[in-house]
Structure 1
Amino acid sequence: MRWDAPLLASLARTLDDRLRGARLRAVAPDFDAQRMALHFREATLLIRLHPNEAGVFLLDAAEPPPEARPLASKLRGVSTPADDRILIFSFLRVRGRPAEADLVVEWITNRHNLVLTEGPDRIARMVFHTRDGDRPVRQGQPWRLPEPQLREGRDGPVSLERWREVVGALEPGREGRRALLSTFAWTSPLNAAALLRLDPEEGWRRWSELGAIARGERDPDPVLLDTDRGLQPYPLALPGAAHRPMASLLAAIEEATRARGVEAAPTLIPASLLDRLDRHLESLRARCARLEEQLDTVPDPDREQALGDLILARYADVPQGVARVTLTDFEGAAVEVSLDPTLSPHENARARYDEAARIRRAAERLPGLVAEARTAWEAAASLRERADAGDVTADELRSALPDTATGGSGDTGAPLPYRRYTSSGGLEIRVGRGSRRNDDLTFRHSAPDDIWLHARDVAGAHVILRWPHDGNPPARDLAEAAVLAALGSKARTSGSVPVDWTRRKYVRKPRKAPPGLVTPGRVQTVFVEPDPRLEVKLRAE
């Protein structure tokens, strides 16, 4: 969508007619999405600066979000400097000083910007894009208008004779358009070609109508032009361009935006909140894929059981301290059996039985986990569709998202004190991001019965394995959390790392202890190999 002075002048009049005298409650800037919501008591005005979705949208009144900036004031009017691409919303505070406040929206090519100013000197208090150069725009400095172009017809009509003098010798090509643009106010790349295609008298008449609309001397006739760049709102039809009449410029802007596929409907949901939803959706998708893969590749528990039976039956043929042995099974065939050389034959048999039991538990649990993960993913996908359609509020979206899907507190994008992983059994693992954040993870982002882990006797990350059940967590999930603890410690390059674990409720913080230093009780220890490939496999996002 392109903007020129006649379009913005007409838009300023439309907004002034609709909102003059309205009481403003707050403004809600969204710097990531380059947009601003003005929360009036009567309506909400959404201003979008991003070139791909620029526009102004008048929506139903909505409650300002928690991060909105209060600005209790009354709209005195909406204006635009003559022959320029700037909208100025002028407010008078109902309380507080200074009394004057202006919201300036610049749609100058390559200088799209939004500036909130205070006082008669228009000191910038909020700036979307800091600018330097001949007209700097910086917070704490006065905002000033660009130097006027002073093209002919800016302040009043131009005679037909003068129009003929300039336009009569011009060709409709690039040079002709350039000469027209440099001479007469209200001309722009949107209308210059159309004006030059007409004979001088008809071109002058159309240009005069355009100037009268821009100066507020006559009402616009809003249309949607069908241009080579798509639908374009405009305050009147242009010769040679297909067009469709519209009820208002605001309706034309919304229709043009919708036709471009930017959004099914303008939304007040912060971009950072939608990013949270997208990350949550991707996390759920990855979890579905991971669980389905696990379900498809569940090993045969009967084979593990049979190997345990074979080890016990051929106990005398199993040497101590070997990694594998070849045994004769009950049908007389030779079977190679892998062993843990640190365990006795009885303990190796027991490990096989434990593995068989674990596989059976997983086979029983995985179908339910897959169904649960699919349901959660479908619900999140439906929520995203509703957000695209403008059929969900920011508060509803916040309440539907788990705190672990957010990038920080509120919508500021500040990181959580931990990274998230998902174990092979579907349990969430949280790994601290540093000594100060370790404390935050351990004492503010975990439950008393969660499993707390830390590599023994070395500096490293606190790790929390979410476990809201009685008894110990599954051995494989515990081992995977221990591997992450080892990888997050200074022992990450060791071949084997001892990792202590206990319930989080048995972890204490000594008085005056430095960040990250805690005292765990009732500690048990597992030995793991810090394999970096496992960290990649378990990433939740």
Structure 2
Amino acid sequence: MSFDGAFTHAMVSELQSALVGGRVAKISQPYPNEVMLTVRNNSHNQSLLLSAHPTYARVQITTIPYANPATPSNFTMMLRKYLDGAILVKLEQVANDRIVQLTFSARNELGDQESIALIVEMMGRHSNVFLIDRGDNRILDLIKHVNPDQNRVRSLLPGATYIAPPAQDTVNPFVDHEAVTDLVATYPAAPVLAKALQETYQGLASDTAHALANALHEPGQVTDLFDAFFDHFNHPIPTLNQFASNKTSFSAFPIINDAITGMQNFESLSILLDFFYQDRAERERVNEQAGNLIHIVRNELKKNRSKFKKLQQTMAETEHADEFRIKGELLTTYLYQVKRGMTSISLPNFYDNDTPMTITLSNQIGPSQNAQKYFNRYQKLKNAVAFVTEQLAKTQEEIDYLSNIQAQIELASPKDINEIRLELQQQGYIRVHQKRGAKKPRLQISQPEQFHSTDGTLISVGKNNLQNDKLTLHTAKKTDLWFHVKNIPGSHVIVHSDNPTEQTIEEAASLAAYFSKARDSASVPVDYVNVKRIHKPNGAKPGFVIYEGQHTAYVTPTTDLVKRLQG
């Protein structure tokens, strides 16, 4: 079931009981399209997420932690100006549309009471969050500014009057069920009926309409079945639906669908959405924040792989260096036979039983110069061997490092991106334009992710190279166990124990495999060794270490295990 008008109806009911009457204690905008309001109500702080994401637009209470940006956005500053300390007096849905209005009572700079609203429109790529002065319905600010030539129906800029989206010619199913009997009689087939229901009733996504069409074919009076279906949204049973294809969907209550192979219930709709959206939304947020990093790393990888290929070609050419030396020696030996103006000559090769060898000559230079030319080419190739060998090693090291960064971005959470960006700045991949005399900004390295094995042993996982270095080289004890996937980019994992159980070792190895490029593989080899056997070579790049005396475990990482150890 999508986050359509019907699901919004159920969510608004949940939020009303949890938030109305509460005071806004904190406001932040951790991501470009999302606002977080901390509302204190009934002695509890609730984090209310208002998302205008083009794919995952929603309104919910969330418990997923987020990283607050160092510099607040202009929209955040406007929200704080008008809503800091405000009381949420009303939270309602507009008809059965995907529009939620939050009305606040606040005091302005003069101490006068005023009514301010936040309006969340959840409409795909047109989703937006508006800050509205209820006195004159003026837009104070909005999370996405839209140029007039992109939307001529209504102005979406600060200072304009807020105009609601154009109303559709549909009926609110929570208010009116008169048309449903005729629809069922006219369209007996469920797929056709579902489309007719969508065209008639407001706020029904395709999956909700199909679920309703199936419900209307159950035994009973049509209007009773219709009302019973929508009454489920007033008394939701938050459900995660699992399909044979391993895909999942969410619904406000268990729905009839033969394709569903399993169901899981949750305490609230918000908890359900946290579970459903965590990985999907996290990946989108990372892509938003790390777009330029992904581009930089891909370009650097492409450049270094091209360089490596050219170096290999040069190395292959050096294998024929002796052929140039032999030609030079033959020309020197039989110099009396070489005449100026020749373009080639065949001479006996005393290195190969006097088998004749044809040697190409330049007719612009003399015999001795031709011989010297071959000696020069031989010497140049011989000199190149040491240089090319060194460059091959350095380029391969660069490719390994960038591949590791690429894997870390793929596995990163939004809060890890700043540290990866800082590392790329320190390594010179990103130029930082600073004013003269300004101090370099220092970023506090965040703590690694914490897990606990089944027996309660603490396990730490570094999510980027800066965390990995700090965790392995500075935080971990020499007697702790260190884990890393074998010859594959991944996280450093530390078991904070000098004598962990076999189960803890297996679980730590699974974490190391999960937080690596081998996440989706089976039987992943993971090396583990005491921290005292880990060494970092001088001048090595962040995250790179060498070790000896390791053991190797083979594990298959699973998301279920990671979530269990995290909990």
Bucket of the pairwise TM-score, normalised by the shorter protein: 0.5 to 0.7
Alpha-carbon displacement from aligned partner over 1:76-120 (angstroms, at most 9, x marks no partner): 667542311235677999999999685744325xx5433656654
Q: 1:328 to 1:194 in 2, by over 3 A?
A: closer
Tell me: CA distance 1:297–1:307, structure 2 relative to 1, closer, same or farther (3 Å): closer
C-alpha distance in 1 between matches for 2:34 and 2:117: 16
Deviations 1:39-68 (A, max 9, x none): 6689795947454x6667954231416795
Paired residue for 2:489? none
* Paired residues of 1:93 and 1:101 also in contact (CA < 8 A): no
Aligned length: 389
Who is 2:94 aligned against?
81
Tell me how far apart the structure 1 counterparts of residues 409 and 27 of structure 2 sit (CA, whole Å): 26
Match of 2:76 among 58, 71, 75: 71
1:282 and 2:282 aligned = no
Gaps of 5+ in 1: 30-35, 411-541
The 5 Å alignment of 1:211-290 reads 213=234, 220-226=236-242, 230-240=247-257, 242=260, 243-253=263-273, 255-256=275-276, 267=286, 269-290=289-310
Secondary structure at the aligned position of 1:374 is classed as helix
Residue 364 of structure 1: CA displacement? 2.8
CA offset at residue 381 of structure 1? 2.6
Are residues 169 and 125 of structure 1, via their aligned partners in 2, closer, same or farther at CA, if it must alter by over 3 Å? closer
8 A contact 1:314–1:327 mirrored in 2: no
| Separation of aligned partners in 1, 2:324 and 2:267 | 75
**Do 1:180 and 1:192's aligned partners in 2 also have CA atoms closer than 8 Å?**
yes
Q: What's the CA shift string for 1:112-158, capped at 9, x where partnerless? A: 4336566542266663776756734655655522234475556x655
Over 3 Å counting, the alpha-carbon distance change for 1:307 and 1:377 in structure 2 is same
What residue is the counterpart of 1:398 in the other structure?
Answer: 421
Deviates more, 1:178-187 or 1:393-402: 178-187
Alignment of 1:25-44 (within 5 A): 25-26=28-29, 28-29=31-32, 36-38=33-35
What is the SS of the residue equivalent to 1:224?
A: strand
Q: Secondary structure at the match of 1:279?
A: helix
Q: Give ranges in structure 2 of 5+ residues lacking alignment.
A: 39-44, 434-567
Higher mean alpha-carbon deviation, 354-363 vs 81-90, is at 81-90
Indicate the SS of the match to 1:62: coil
Which amino acid letter does the alignment assign opposite residue 386 of structure 1?
Answer: Q
297 and 179 in structure 1: CA distance in 2 versus 1, 3 angstrom threshold: same
1:203 and 2:203 matched: no
Cα deviation per residue 1:516-535 (whole Å; 9 max; x = unaligned)?
A: xxxxxxxxxxxxxxxxxxxx
Provide the C-alpha distance between the structure 2 equivalents of 1:7 and 1:366, rounded to a whole number of angstroms. Answer: 63
Q: Which residue of 2 aligns with 1:107?
A: 123
TM superposition score normalised by structure 1: 0.56
**In structure 2, distance between residues paired with 1:105 and 1:126:** 11
Could you tell me whether the CA contact under 8 Å between 2:29 and 2:72 is conserved in 1? no
Percent of matched pairs sharing the same residue = 14
The letter of the residue matching 1:356 is Y
Report the AA paired with residue 144 of structure 1.
I
Residues 1:358 and 2:363 aligned together: no
Q: How big is the shift at 1:398?
A: 1.5
CA 1:149 to 1:103, structure 2 compared with 1: closer, same or farther past 3 Å?
closer
Residue 127 of structure 2 aligns with an amino acid whose one-letter code is: N
The amino acid of 1:225's aligned partner reads N
Matches within 5 A, 1:286-365: 286-319=306-339, 324-326=343-345, 328-329=347-348, 331=350, 334-339=356-361, 346-365=368-387
Is residue 153 of structure 2 the alignment partner of residue 135 of structure 1? yes
Equivalent residues in 2 for 1:408-447 (5 A)? none
Change (3 A) 1:400 1:357: farther
Describe the shift of the 1:282–1:82 C-alpha distance in structure 2 as closer, same or farther (beyond 3 A): farther
Decide which of 395, 398, 402 is 1:373's aligned counterpart: 395
Rounded to whole Å, the distance in 2 between the matches of 1:68 and 1:38 is 11
Residue in 2 that maps onto 1:4? 4
Q: Is the 8 A contact 1:91 1:100 kept in 2?
A: yes
Q: 1:146 maps to which residue?
A: 165
Offset from partner CA, 1:465-512 (integer Å, 9 cap, x none): xxxxxxxxxxxxxxxxxxxxxxxxxxxxxxxxxxxxxxxxxxxxxxxx
Distance 2:342 2:139 in 1: 79
TM-score (norm. length: structure 2): 0.54
Give the Cα separation in 1 of the matches to 2:227 and 2:277.
31
